[in-house]
Amino acid sequence: MSNTQNTPPTAPANHADSHAIAVRTERRWAMFSVAFVLLLVAIVVFTGLHWAMMPPSRVETIDPTTLHVSGEFIEGNLGTAREADGSVTVRVVAQQYSFTPQCILVPARTPVTFRITSADVVHGFLIANTNINSMVEPGYISTFRSTFNEPGDHLMPCHEYCGTGHEGMWANVKVIEAAEFDKLAAGARRLSCVK
């Protein structure tokens, strides 16, 4: 049997040294925590200013039981319209199991504002190959702004389960050249690619 001696762990040479180490460690963690909070605040400010996200105080409401009777979402106002400033506004109503209008016509390289509401239940609003993606709730008007750079067709499915006919709820967004759009807009107050 070997004769080993158990030695106790060595204590710090100076209590002041261990206290200084603890204080430095606490300061580092405090600085890390403050930096993390500042990063989160910076992200919120950046997204709020850069992407023009609307705060909840700017939410528009509408009575879903009367939206077909009066106001901006009556059938004659749905579709695409050229505004006085040259921009385009698209008004859409989502209801089980369709979007009205079924096909939306917009010009390329022109600011487009989508205003959409639901007449019945929660629906999803997604325009494929764009950054437009949101839920549409009854009683609220959702507003999205975008510019389509190139002509083409985009699928617009409902991506929120809204009932047994959900899989058939989709529409199309057709982007055409601005000159062609202006010719069509000259002869009609509202446009849709459905003839």
Q: What is the CATH number of the domain that holds 67?
A: 2.60.40.420
d(Cα 9, Cα 71) in Å, to the nearest integer?
Answer: 82
Does residue 34 sit in the same domain as residue 88?
Answer: no
Does residue 158 sit in the same domain as residue 72?
Answer: yes
Higher pLDDT, 1 or 42: 42
Nearest Cα neighbor of 141 from 22, 36, 43, 54 is 54
pLDDT for the residue numbered 9:
59
| Structure-token match 């002869």, residue found | 187
Does residue 172 sit in the same domain as residue 129?
Answer: yes
Does residue 29 sit in the same domain as residue 109?
Answer: no
Specify which residues 173 forms β-bridges with.
104, 154
Range of the domain at 30: 14-53
Query: Is residue 4 assigned to a domain?
Result: no
Residue 4: pLDDT over 60: no
pTM over 0.85: no
Query: Is residue 192 assigned to a domain?
Result: no
pLDDT for the residue numbered 18:
86
d(Cα 48, Cα 85) in Å, to the nearest integer?
Answer: 25
Residue 60: pLDDT over 60: yes
Boundary residue ending a domain (37, 53, 69): 53
